[in-house]
Amino acid sequence: MTMQLKTDLGSAPMFRPGPTRHRLPMLLASLPLLLLLGACGTAPQLAGTGLASLPLLRGWFEGEEVFYVTTDVSHADVAEAKGANFAPRLADALPAGPPLPGRRSSVDKVYAVTNFKQESIFASAPFPMGSASRDTAYSPLWQMVKVTWAQGRTPLTLKSEEQVLAAADAGAVALEATRVVLNCPIIHRGPKGGLPGVKVVDRLP
């Protein structure tokens, strides 16, 4: 499955020079706002329409399908397997020391099943999609937790973190938290919609 990102890129506004004597104080007062708006650097708009195609992956969150892309991984072998950028500094996002209840972190957990073919399970997801999301637990950075079915147990598709933890409590699966951090933004939630401008298609023409 692939994803199409369609972006209409209008022409950039024309700059018309003029007297600056009375504008300088206004420009200086506006500087902090301009720096804030430019923090993530919006490139100058170009005329025309842009189209990008990226591999789209399906996962699970609370029993529902979510769709995401993997762009960067902190572990070289995992990055190669996923066709992503090797970004070792992502591992610095993990808190030092053992996990502590209530400790805040910029990463959440994604569960990867090692010995049964199924999609990854995410611990959070944005809703609604976009700037109005109210899920403050969501982060596009994920610590990989390996899920391995115990010998003699019949694997089944796990579709939520709750199911993963219940299976672990029952001794059906073993969990192994790794130091692998992945940048996998969730960009679409099926019937619940996606990011503005994101269109999910089965294939490109």
Domain boundaries, the chain: 70-95+104-185
Report whether 116 contacts 149 (CB < 8 A): yes
| Tens digit of pLDDT at every position of the chain (205 positions) | 544 444 344 444 443 444 444 444 443 444 444 444 455 555 565 555 677 788 899 999 999 999 999 999 999 999 999 999 999 999 999 988 766 666 678 999 999 999 999 999 999 999 999 999 999 999 999 999 999 999 999 999 999 999 999 999 999 999 999 999 999 999 999 999 999 988 888 755 5
pLDDT of residue 73: 98
- For residue 138, give every residue at least 6 positions away whose Cβ sits within 8 Å of its Cβ, in sequence order, or none: 108, 124, 125, 126, 186
Reported as type and span, the H/E element at residue 19 is none
Report whether 24 contacts 175 (CB < 8 A): no
Alpha-carbon span 152 to 173, nearest angstrom: 11
How far is Cα of residue 67 from the mean position of the Cα atoms in its chain? Answer: 10
Alpha-carbon span 149 to 158, nearest angstrom: 11
- For residue 142, the one-letter residue type is W
Question: What are the distances in angstroms from CA 170 to CA 52, 149, 167, 177?
Answer: 44, 11, 5, 18
**Start-to-end Cα distance in the chain:** 12
Dmax (CA) of the chain: 81
Report whether 116 contacts 155 (CB < 8 A): yes
Reported as type and span, the H/E element at residue 106 is none
Report whether 201 contacts 9 (CB < 8 A): no
pLDDT of residue 97: 72
